[in-house]
Amino acid sequence: MGDVISGILGHINYIILGIFFTTLVIQLFFYFFIYSRIVFYNKKTPPRAKKEPVSVIICAKNEAENLKKFLPSILSQDYKDYEVIVVNDCSTDETDEVISQFLKKYKNLRTTSIPSDNKFSHGKKLAVTVGIKAAKNEILVFTDADCEPVSNKWLSRIQRNFTKKTDIVLGYGGYFPRPTFLNNYIRYDTLFIAMQYFSFALAKIPYMGIGRNLAYRKSLFFQNKGFANHYHLFSGDDDLFVNETANKHNTAIEVAADSFTRSLPKENWGEWFQQKARHFTTGKYYKKNHKFLLGLENISRFIYYSCFLYLILSLNFILFVLPAFGFRLLVQLIFFKKVTKLLNEKYLLLTSLFFDFVGLLINSILYGSIRLRRRRIKWK
């Protein structure tokens, strides 16, 4: 009986070893064939595009303090012809007064508002749509009220990617650093997502962008009938729109250091939970090939770590498992070092090794709790 049990356990161990190496190969596929595209991206100067007029759209809901702090840097860009449209979305603070003060100083600032209605609730998509309809120009650049461009060249860098074939430009929106565990995780999570969507775009499989730093043509918005296909969702004004409209021909990226924006990070886990929960509600609406690839990466990484822990704790095949694990670890370090440098994210290299696994657990817990709660999540 003991020999039978030992034989069965031996077979199980070999099966787990096989699964470990299979998921390792899948992980290395993502690193070498997908992520390598942004890691070793040759930042060539985009084709010289005509400097077309630009409309910057910002949706503000109770953002008086953030507008005071960050709007001047957006209104003072080194760009000849652009307007900034702030959509005051049912604000109950001093947002309207702040905008009025800026209107006296900046000729390129315009504003529109959505009145409050207790009988009607809406998400950010209505505010974005109102801003787009108010825009005078074909090229639209989006950011948030709590975002600050890192330089006055932001608009120039984003706009220079628009050619006759380009409809969408994906930028990078990071977060201001803070000396907390939560901030480190938020910045890592943002960096990893950016590595993914930039790499997929360079692989001709664009699947998302972020509203903190995103641009597309006004005509594309109306050709797609705006957000009609997912208007019922409070989230998705950025990633779902890109997922619907982006293709291998019409999407470009911008990763010059002076093209980034920085945002205020959430200060506690509850606020971040709400923000991340909004993002998670859109993933199931992605195109099937995007869901497959993103799911494959997450699932294979989870199984990879699970098999590794089992094999190490059971002292099985250590001479095979440790070198394989070490090789992926080395690849991960090299890739993340290059990405952190490219996107100017400091002090995340070592923590990325920890968050590569822990992030899976955090996101799994978060996703599970969302499924259990099953309630609508507002954007503000």
pLDDT of residue 366: 77
Burial status of residue 260 (CB atoms within 10 A of its CB: 0-12, 13-18, 19 or more): buried
Q: What is the pLDDT of residues 40-79, one digit of tens each?
A: 998 766 555 678 999 999 999 999 999 999 999 999 999 9
Residues 232, 271: Cα–Cα separation, whole Å: 23
**Could you tell me the CA-to-CA distances from 222 to 216, 229, 245 in Å, in that order?**
11, 13, 11
Tell how strand 168-170 and strand 251-253 pair up: parallel
Whether pLDDT at 108 is above 90? yes
pLDDT at residue 318, as a whole number: 87
Calculate mean pLDDT across residues 119-139.
89
Q: Residue ranges of the domains in the chain?
A: 27-40+289-371, 54-285
Cα→Cα distances 42→139, 173, 276, 351, Å: 25, 20, 32, 26
Contact criterion met (CB below 8 Å) for 217 and 188:
no
Model pLDDT for residues 296-311, shown as the tens digit of each residue: 999 999 999 999 999 9
pLDDT on residue 314: 86
d(CA 173, CA 123): 21
pLDDT at 82 over 70: yes
Residue range 207-216: mean pLDDT, rounded: 96
- Which of the four pLDDT bands, split at 50, 70 and 90, describes residue 131? very high
Q: Give the pLDDT score at 49.
A: 61
What average pLDDT does range 256-273 have in this prediction?
Answer: 91
The owner of tokens 């074939």 is 165
Average pLDDT, whole number, for the chain? 90
Tell me, what's the pLDDT at 4? 56
Evaluate if residue 10 carries a pLDDT over 90.
no
* CA–CA gap between residue 82 and residue 162 (Å, rounded): 15
DSSP helix/strand/coil, 110: strand
**Looking at the predicted structure, is the pLDDT value of residue 377 above 60?**
no
Cross-strand bridge partners of residue 173: 261
CATH 3.90.550.10 fits 54-285, yes or no: yes
- Specify whether the CB–CB gap between 15 and 292 falls below 8 A: no
Distance CA 321, CA 287 (A): 35
Q: What is the DSSP letter of 350?
A: H
**Residue among 312, 295, 353 at smallest CA distance from 16:** 312
Q: Stretch 135-142: mean pLDDT, rounded? A: 97
**pLDDT at position 119, please?**
63
Average pLDDT over residues 312-332: 92
The per-residue pLDDT for 91 is 87
